[in-house]
Amino acid sequence: MLRFVTRRSVLIMGAVVLTAVAGWAGTRSRHTPSPQVLATGRDLFEHEWKPNDLLAKSGDGLGPVFNGRSCVECHFVGGVGGAGLNRNNVASFELRHAPVGTTASGRKAGVIHAQANAPWALESVAMVHAVFPAQVKVGGRPVVGNATTPTSGIATPNDLRPVIVHSINTPALFGNGVMDRINDQDILSLQRGRRYAGMLREVQGDFAGVPVGRAQVLANGRIGKFGWKGQSSSLNEFVATACAVELGLSNSVRKQDLPQKFTHDTSAADDMSAEQITALASFVAALPTPEQRLPESESDRKAVAHGSQLFRSTGCAECHTPTVGSAEGVYSDFLLYQVEDPPPGNGGGGGGSYGGGPVEPEPTPSSDPLPEEWKTPPLWGVADTAPYMHDGRALTLSAAIEAHGGQARDVRERFRNLSADDKQAVFAFLNTLRLPKDARQPAAPPAPAGQTLAFKR
């Protein structure tokens, strides 16, 4: 064969190969950041920021208000980029109703920072209530938002407070790059498929199906995937927001918060450049993806296979969908659900609770999630990411399943009715969903968390 290959054709073939390699390298540099960029991103993720930090070219560095001094301080369980413990929880708030008479600059949610560079800047839950006060009375009747009077009788000022406070647990970031590449259409067609299947079942007289959640449609028309409420569709945007919100590092995507005002400081100079944000986001996107690790023995593997089958047959997989688009083994449908049981005594005027109380949530005109709605969290890596649920209140997988009520109540009941062996099989399956083995370990033990905000759930 080689005999027939002329010098000219060798040259042509060489040129073809070179073009192919150049083309490949071109694509590679578009999609795979250089090792230098990744190293810069890793340094930024692990860097302990200080006020007027040298890495902040023109801004004021850490703060003035913040929740942590580095990304790794909260994202460390299971390696750099991992989950956080409950002591790392972040206090966030949202408004149940558009407040009457407040010009809250359209903000419906925010963060109550746990730390500040100066004592005067420290924030508290009481301050959020002061900024978004209880509703006023019009003609002797209390008015909630721009809608109607509560129907359940006497409303106390507490019931009328628009602010709801959550304690939010830190998720692991492994696989975030894969999640970033899920198309909106992948989520929407999954939702459509479930709707049709449900309709078909109902036609056949089967009403036991799991309700289909709703996609979080963002102001930009995209579907939210990141955050416990699916509040962002893009990893780059979430990373930039984390810089501003968690560390007080302004950037071109999101400015840091103004202490005690619960709004952005629009005049703050940028602490981070676009290149720094890109490097940090590239590092997060390149974190290894969680993996399924099967046990050694044949009988243990059989239990796992049985557990995986039960995970489907009891209905867990309806919401914790194994694969969405290119995200194989993600175990989430990225849709919003209400899976919390109503607080005990709800409807009886349980006054003062942030989440419950007699005031029914109004359907918001946009698709903003209700206070009770949370995105199905991906279960990849779940064996290594305790504590569980958005607020970290479930310390074990068993407690996490028990915490499913509301739209997941039927599925929880089916799980409860399994035999002890079958339940063990489900846990055996969940315990194969592990964080990546090759995750980088934090250089130093993470710094102790700062002040923890105390508030009632």
Query: Where along the sequence are the contacts to ligand HEC (CB under 6 A)?
Result: 67-68, 71, 73-75, 84, 88, 90, 92, 168, 170-171, 173, 176, 210, 226-228, 235, 238-239, 242-243, 246-247, 280, 284, 314-316, 318-320, 337, 339, 374, 376-377, 379, 382, 385, 388-390, 397, 400-401, 404, 407-408, 411, 415
Task: Pick the closer one to ligand HEC by CB: 160 or 287.
Answer: 287
Cα–Cα distance for residue pair 244/318, rounded to 1 Å: 35
Angstrom distance (rounded) from CA 440 to CA 82: 10
For ligand HEC, which is the closer residue by CB, 82 or 349?
82
Q: How far is the CB of 189 from ligand HEC (least distance, A)?
A: 18
CB of 342 to ligand HEC, least distance (A): 14
Given the complex with ligand HEC, which of 142 and 237 has the nearer CB atom? Answer: 237
Reading the block at residue 64, the tokens are 């003035």
Cβ closest to ligand HEC, residue 2 vs residue 420: 420
CB 171, CB 374: distance < 8 Å: no
Q: Tell me whether residue 220 or residue 452 sits nearer to ligand HEC (CB atom).
A: 452
Closest approach, Cβ 240 to ligand HEC, in A, equals 9
How far apart (Å, rounded) are the C-alpha atoms in residues 117 and 63? 6
Rounded least distance, CB 381 to ligand HEC, Å: 8
Degrees to nearest 5, angle at CA 302 with 301 and 306: 115
- In angstroms, the Cα distances linking 430 to 312, 322, 328, 422 are 12, 12, 15, 13
Burial category of 8 from C-beta neighbours within 10 Å (exposed 0-12, middle 13-18, buried 19 and up): exposed
CA quadruple 191, 197, 200, 201: dihedral positive or negative?
negative
71 touches 46 (CB < 8 A): yes
| CB 162, min distance to ligand HEC, A | 19
Residue number, 99 or 315, with CB nearest to ligand HEC:
315
CB of 144 or CB of 374, closer to ligand HEC: 374
State the minimum distance, in angstroms, from the CB of residue 168 to ligand HEC.
4
Measured distance CA(257)–CA(264) in Å, rounded: 4
12 vs 8, 18, 21, 23, 102, CA distance in Å?
Answer: 6, 10, 14, 16, 72
Closest approach of Cβ 367 to ligand HEC, in Å? 16
Min. distance of Cβ 136 from ligand HEC in angstroms? 30
16 vs 208, beta carbon nearer ligand HEC: 208
Question: What is the Cα–Cα distance from 284 to 297, expressed in whole angstroms?
Answer: 35
Give me the least distance between CB of 1 and ligand HEC, in Å please. Answer: 53
Distance of CA 375 to the CA centre of its chain: 8
- Phi/psi for 282 (5° steps) reads -65, -40
Which conformational region is residue 171 in: left (phi greater than 0), alpha (psi within -120 to 50 degrees), or beta?
beta
